[in-house]
Amino acid sequence: MPITVRDGDSALADAGAAKAAGADLVELRVDEFFHGGARNAESPEEREIVRIVSECPLPCIVTCRPVSEGGVYDGDDMSRVALFERLGTAFGTGEHPPRYIDVELATYTRSANIRQKIGLAIEHPEQVRDLTTSLILSLHDFRERPADLTRRVLAMRDETAARVHKIAYRARSLRDNLELFELLEGRDRPTIALGMGEFGLMSRVLAPKFGGFLTFASLRAETVTAPGQPTIRDLLGTYRFRSIGPGTGVYGVVGWPVSHSLSPLVHNAGFEAVGVDAVYLPMPIPGARLAKSEEDPPAHADSGPADLEASYLSLKATLLELLDHAGLSLRGVSVTIPHKENLLRLARERGWMIEDGAQRIGAANTLIAARDAAGRLGQVRVINTDAPAIAECLAAAGPLRPGAIGVIGAGGVARAAAYALASAGTTVEVYNRTPDRAAALAEDLAGLPGRVAAAAPGAMAQSCCSGYINCTPIGMSGGPSPNESPLPAGLLRSLPADTVVMDTVYNPVRTPLLRNAAEARLRTVDGVGVFVSQAERQFRAWTGSEAPRGLFERIAREHVVNPRSDAEPRHTRRERP
Ligand code: NAP
């Protein structure tokens, strides 16, 4: 988004970089640079801002946001207005005016004098001079949706001199995006309606679907000027912003946290490769405990019964509202921690179709929502693609020695693994630190062709399975024990060489478990393959098409090995006034 002006040359360099990165408009945030004060004589700062605007390689918005509206300008209103007047009438040699100035509704409606002075700098229906700068009238709330939003939007509509309206507030849940979309749909002139924060990303990316005038993106991750702002690289690259329109189908990954999920990278690349008009977004839905802030998400899954109920209600309220929104046309979601069991419960409650595997596993990771041409919701189906993905990856390691497979853990992934193996007739031994959960898993999966047995956690050290699958977060970077292995190195060294050791953890790719297993010369299978295979199955369920062979694998491996640092900001305009 905006370029923070600290000095003329670096601002112009950033504007050049924004142009090179694909922006078609930049916002020059001058509130740090301009201090006001010299109302009658032109100050050096004012002269420099005129120069920056005139030499800017892209059309620009000039914004001098006061402290009261989340900016840093602490001078007086009339100095700021005098700057706008100077900019709007900058027709001297080598000078030209900005395309827009942005003035807050609160400032603009504060006095007739301010309105009259701003009116001297912009084009508007009563303007007698030949001016070209247009007014963006804006309102912001960095904390929440303003309680008097409707009143303020109506007040904006009364101001006929404004060519564009901008409404930005902190989204407190994904549902706030839906109201922002309704503001766009009900607009009376070009409108920007954006949710700030992680929950608001949807409103930024989907702005063109609802006729939004522009969206803001940052040149680099560190230059983000509003929370939740994507980088231009994400917006144009990952989310293919330029190709989004009214008919674009919407998909996403539901869970908490999801901001670092690999799924948007692979699915969006898949849509592009097979020519599907669709976009895939992170869709954060917290579990029981709402994060104190987005920078401090809850690190652990929900636990007690009250937590589990709150987590379920959180998913239910948000997902049903997203599905019911005909304009959004949500066609499918991937579901991850902590909502896989919640999705299955919701499917049972709503009478959606449930695949047998998901039913037996007790968890679903994929929702497929059929829609008619008008976007009306048809049949909804839930499936579990983790189970066949685990089976596929294990099979790819080659024939297994006869014998049981040890599944370590008893959570959602362990259930999927045990179900897949036992369905194919394999005997499964479940090792979990909480024996009751292992026993419950075995009981739930009784009656499948292969036997599922709960083993005492201590029995693992003496076990000799033909293969082991780690389904705990042990060894995961950022997890509870990133440097540990769920299987002791001594046990690994004692196993026959044809034993297969598989990790579902894929960050890092070579976990301590896989490193130890490789040192013991055992066969190893990493977790990236499971991620890729479950994602490819979701893609096929949604689009009816295969993702190009190797595409998801290449993207996932590249990203896991070399997580990307972020690139460049700017503004992307969708519509000209
Ligand atoms: P989950 O439902 O929360 O289950 C986690 C399991 O791990 C539970 O059985 C838990 O034991 C056990 N556990 C957690 N911390 C432990 C520790 N410090 N020591 C010993 N056991 C521990 O999670 P999930 O959805 O099954 O996911 C498990 C792992 O699978 C994730 O961490 C992730 O790395 C991996 N995964 C991979 C993919 C992929 O595509 N490759 C997809 C999803 C998940 P208790 O029962 O005693 O609590």
Crossing angle, helix 112-119 and helix 77-88, to 10 degrees?
20
pLDDT of residue 39: 60
The average pLDDT across 284-290 equals 80
Question: Residue 540 to residues 234, 309, 530, 533: CA-CA distances in angstroms?
Answer: 24, 32, 15, 11
Work out the percent of the chain whose per-residue pLDDT is above 90. Answer: 86
Which of the two residues, 345 and 478, has the higher pLDDT score? 345
pLDDT of residue 223: 65
pLDDT of residue 225: 64
Q: How confident is the model at residue 479 (pLDDT cuts 50, 70, 90)?
A: confident
Question: Residue 17 to residues 56, 222, 238, 571: CA-CA distances in angstroms?
Answer: 11, 15, 19, 12
Mean pLDDT estimate for the chain: 92
* Cis, bond preceding 57 (omega within 30 deg of 0): no
Work out the percent of the chain whose per-residue pLDDT is above 70. Answer: 93
- Name which residue sits closest to atom 34 of ligand 1, judged by CA: 505
For residue range 537-560, what is the model confidence (pLDDT) as tens digits?
999 999 999 999 999 999 999 999
DSSP per position, 437-450 = HHHHHHHHTTTSSS
- Name which residue sits closest to atom 47 of ligand 1, judged by CA: 434
Q: How confident is the model at residue 566 (pLDDT cuts 50, 70, 90)?
A: very low
Name the nearest CA neighbour of 227 among 1, 68, 63.
1
**Residue 309, token pair as written in the block:** 């109920």
For residue range 89-111, what is the model confidence (pLDDT) as tens digits?
998 888 999 999 999 999 999 99
- Name which residue sits closest to atom 42 of ligand 1, judged by CA: 531
Q: Which of 504, 506, 526, 553 to mutate to test the pocket of ligand 1 (most atoms within 8 A of CB)?
A: 504
Query: CB–CB of 253/265 below 8 Å?
Result: no
The average pLDDT across 27-49 equals 88
Q: How confident is the model at residue 457 (pLDDT cuts 50, 70, 90)?
A: confident
For residue range 444-455, what is the model confidence (pLDDT) as tens digits?
999 999 999 999
Find the 387 Cα to ligand 1 centroid distance in Å: 15
Query: Does residue 340 carry a catalytic annotation?
Result: yes
For residue range 199-247, what is the model confidence (pLDDT) as tens digits?
999 999 999 999 999 999 999 877 666 667 899 999 999 999 999 999 9
Ligand 1 binding pocket, CB closer than 6 Å: 301, 337, 409-414, 432-434, 437, 471-474, 476, 480-481, 504-506, 527, 530-531, 534
Name the nearest CA neighbour of 186 among 215, 149, 217, 216.
149
The average pLDDT across 492-516 equals 97
For residue range 297-317, what is the model confidence (pLDDT) as tens digits?
444 455 678 888 999 999 999
Residue 528 CA, closest ligand 1 atom number: 41
Query: CB–CB of 221/260 below 8 Å?
Result: no
Find the 505 Cα to ligand 1 centroid distance in Å: 9
Query: CB–CB of 343/364 below 8 Å?
Result: yes
